[in-house]
Structure 1
Amino acid sequence: MHRPKLLFVVTEDWFFASHFLPMARAARELDLDVVVIARERQHRRVIEATGARLIALEAERGSLSPLALLRQVQTLKRLITAERPDILHCIALKPIALAGLAGRLAGIERRVYALTGLGFLGARQGQLAALARLAARTWLREAIDGPGVRFLFENPDDPVMLGLDPQNKGKVAIVGGAGVDPLVLMPEPMPPAPPLKVALVARMLWSKGVDLAVEAVKLARAQGARVELTIHGAPDSSNPKAIPETTLKEWAARPGIHWAGPTRDIEGVWRAHHLCCLPSRGGEGLPRTILEAAACGRAILTTDVSGCRSFVRDGQDGMVVPPDDAAALARALMVLAGAPGLVERMGASARNRLLDGHTERDVMDAVKALYRGLLARPQTDVAA
């Protein structure tokens, strides 16, 4: 008996392992044959433990050379043609742009485009960013769209930016981020206060607003607030927008700032801290770090950008301040440093917010419904 095949295309094995294993498990619950194409580093075992099969594809994420992109499309077309998936699921903007075209050329009609955030397109302002958004919207909607294509988002703002109606259930699905397991990440008692212990867990990119958090702590401490910041994350050498290690070390030399590097002990991070801070400049889907902190019963201080504002209710689950505004961030830190009871109540509310549609099981069920809907339609009805 033929088992329908699902083929994921994603940039990195670590990215799939950290964010999309629930989707692979959801597909296995539907008894799909699951294959993942990604650049392989150290996560084959974790991915294949779900029952999926990993195909390693070496490609440089930072390259925008037209010739290199054409070669990637040709390579992807060859791999997709060889696998002949019933559904092609492309994750993040560049794989969507390249594998979406390759899948269309290979005759794969059922395609899922998962926009996990708009990155540069969402974070930057100005004429160049506007032109880039127009180019992306044109490519997605004209070159690689089709009746068999479904768009998967993590917040209701991103589809609007791409000219899609978030209420169009036949074209757009919105899931609660990557989803976390609330039975694995559980609330634990707050550490002693003061000081207010704040953690920022993210890739070390300028778009994450790490510099804003550092400046805000400096401002708040200058006003007498007892607040400390721990930064967890590593520079991403493949990303041109990475914060240099020298800058991180310089920040860590300042009073009240500690750079702890990357961590896998998320429970340990939130056990030792009162507050999650992510002063993003934009381009987010629904940040996993926010979901993990909420699962652990920690309040969230973030900015009024897509993804962050769709989860955090200002004054209820934490505080939402304008983006790129260190002074506003500092004022929020001063309020929270002086109100430990409020911080604890916000953390409990954030946990309840997570349980309402943002768990791993919620995401798995939504993705299963998406796959079932696509597989129920004959290929001839969804020709791109």
Structure 2
Amino acid sequence: MSQVVVLPGGFHSRIDSNSRQAMDQTIILFSNTSWYLYNFRSALAQSLREAGYRVVMVAPRDQYTERLEQAGFEFIQVDMRRSSLNPLRELLLLRRIRKLLLREKPDIIVNFTIKCVVYGTFAGATVPGTGRVNAIAGLGSVFSGHNWQFRLLRLLLNNLLRLALKGTANYTIVQNPDDQRYLIDNQLVKPDQIHLIRGSGVDPEKFAPSGQCTVPVNTRPRVVFASRLLRPKGLFDFIGCAQRLNDRFEFVIAGEPDPGNPESISDLELQHLVEQKVISHLGQVDEMAIMLRQSHLVVLPSRYGEGVPRILIEAAACGLPLVAYDTPGCREIVQDGINGVLVKPADHQGLDQAILDILEDQPTYARMAQASRKLFLAEYTQQRVVEDTLKVVRRAASSALSDHHADTESPFQ
């Protein structure tokens, strides 16, 4: 049995029994940037609101905060430094998050990125009746790096995650099987409390092919790198390709440095790269779908601890062949020889050859372009990701409610 109701903001939705139960529930989406919530989780937030949840966004304020507020979402600012390791500052941050949760009394908190997972889950565990969902979109450079600092941080994070991810009303979402195996094998999470949901979802209507699965003959095909400008993302590997192949193809970079990340390049380094005139720098691109429809190949030679890179999903949705290093996350969306080419990390000659093999062979290009769109529609659509995430949210809410009733009914309380 279902009924049509008018939700806050004037939205109409057909509400089933699960949705009616959600009408008086509060859900917090917690991230280390408003940029992430707006660009990667707006569709989830909208679906939660349409399902009847009161949705509250919690993050530091940045240039995307106003867009969240204009979309009608409640926003609570929390000041945090992503790269901070100051113990006193971090303890004070944890205290502020706990006070926020005690005030808002959420039924569910969904934590995005490792730091928010740890702090949001620890704080959420002290608020009775609050379920926790931890969406880990890649383990990041701490888990993929090999120097002594990363190894030390990895040891610390493993212990923190082992504590944070336990509890019956605590569920974890990862985006690729490599991360799933790592968390289970290292006993950071129980197998029945971890869910594999590939990516954060892309709209198949907004990101659609241009209609032509061909490489231009009279102009240089455009090869795109789109990402935060971090060293582990493969920026300099891409620049190397541009230096060697610039006479045949146009190489374009979309993205900006990320001052909050210690592995970001600086503005000065970016200026120097642009001055070499082997790449074009587009800066931050808001209309990524339009840019991709004007491009012919996306290359992401990343060694970073990816979930499933959003840019590769968007490119596949637009029917573009893909080239990436054979690393976790990338190998999920790039099927070697089917819709693109996987290259051994740091194999610069192999990277060049992959680009040449795709762009200089029309039949191969057309076959891979069609395969990209087909794979996207089967695995990575926004609707599928949102529906799967809602199932985890409801499971966490049900577990939290059961735990709370058990505690209040216990004769030892």
TM-score, normalised via structure 1 length: 0.92
Contact 2:49–2:55 under 8 Å retained in 1: yes
Q: Matches of 1:212 and 1:276 in 2, distance apart?
A: 13
Report the equivalent of 1:254: 276
Q: Which amino acid aligns with 2:216?
A: P
Cα offset, 1:144, TM superposition: 4.8
SS in 1 for 2:345: coil
1:219 to 244, 247, 261: 244
Contact 1:276–1:300 under 8 Å retained in 2: yes
SS in 2 for 1:3: coil
Contact 2:158–2:188 under 8 Å retained in 1: no
Q: Matches of 1:268 and 1:88 in 2, distance apart?
A: 34
SS in 1 for 2:299: strand
Cα offset, 1:127, TM superposition: 4.7
Q: Matches of 1:326 and 1:343 in 2, distance apart?
A: 21
Contact 2:228–2:258 under 8 Å retained in 1: yes
Report the equivalent of 2:337: 315
Instruction: Please tell me whether residue 18 in structure 1 is matched to residue 39 in structure 2.
Output: yes
Cα offset, 1:246, TM superposition: 2.5
Contact 1:191–1:273 under 8 Å retained in 2: no
Report the equivalent of 1:114: 135
Q: Matches of 2:356 and 2:271 in 1, distance apart?
A: 25
Report the equivalent of 2:15: none
Change (3 A) 1:60 1:133: closer
Change (3 A) 1:243 1:258: same
Cα offset, 1:196, TM superposition: 3.1
Instruction: Please tell me whether residue 348 in structure 1 is matched to residue 370 in structure 2.
Output: yes
SS in 2 for 1:98: helix
Contact 1:8–1:36 under 8 Å retained in 2: yes
Query: For 1:278-317, what aligned pairs fall within 5 Å after superposition?
Result: 278-317=300-339
Q: Which amino acid aligns with 2:398?
A: A
Q: Which amino acid aligns with 2:322?
A: I
Q: Which amino acid aligns with 2:208?
A: M
Cα offset, 1:141, TM superposition: 1.6
Instruction: Please tell me whether residue 229 in structure 1 is matched to residue 251 in structure 2.
Output: yes
Cα offset, 1:166, TM superposition: 12
Change (3 A) 1:65 1:154: same
Report the equivalent of 1:205: 230
Change (3 A) 1:272 1:166: farther
Q: Matches of 1:368 and 1:34 in 2, distance apart?
A: 13
Change (3 A) 1:378 1:219: closer
Cα offset, 1:285, TM superposition: 0.9
Q: Matches of 1:253 and 1:107 in 2, distance apart?
A: 57
1:86 to 104, 107, 111: 107
Cα offset, 1:17, TM superposition: 0.1
Change (3 A) 1:43 1:255: closer
| Deviation sequence 1:277-312 (CA, Å, 0-9, x none) | 111112111111111111111111111111110111
Report the equivalent of 2:25: 4
Q: Which amino acid aligns with 1:76?
A: I
Q: Matches of 1:169 and 1:366 in 2, distance apart?
A: 17
Higher relative contact order (CA 8 A, sep 6+): 1
Cα offset, 1:59, TM superposition: 2.0
Q: Matches of 1:170 and 1:48 in 2, distance apart?
A: 36
Gaps of 5+ in 2: 1-20, 408-413
Q: Which amino acid aligns with 2:302?
A: S
SS in 1 for 2:316: helix
Report the equivalent of 1:151: 172
Q: Matches of 1:110 and 1:198 in 2, distance apart?
A: 44
Change (3 A) 1:72 1:166: closer
RMSD: 2.4
Change (3 A) 1:167 1:9: closer
Q: Matches of 1:249 and 1:192 in 2, distance apart?
A: 30
1:239 to 257, 261, 264: 261
Paired residues in the alignment total: 381
Cα offset, 1:380, TM superposition: 4.3
Contact 1:299–1:350 under 8 Å retained in 2: yes
Contact 1:217–1:256 under 8 Å retained in 2: yes
Q: Matches of 1:10 and 1:55 in 2, distance apart?
A: 11
Contact 1:212–1:279 under 8 Å retained in 2: yes
| Deviation sequence 1:193-241 (CA, Å, 0-9, x none) | 35332011111111110100111232345xxx71221011111122211
Cα offset, 1:50, TM superposition: 5.1
Q: Matches of 1:352 and 1:73 in 2, distance apart?
A: 44
Higher mean displacement: 189-198 or 28-37: 189-198
TM-score, normalised via structure 2 length: 0.86
Q: Matches of 2:50 and 2:111 in 1, distance apart?
A: 20
1:192 to 216, 219, 243: 216
2:94 to 73, 76, 81: 73
Cα offset, 1:18, TM superposition: 0.4
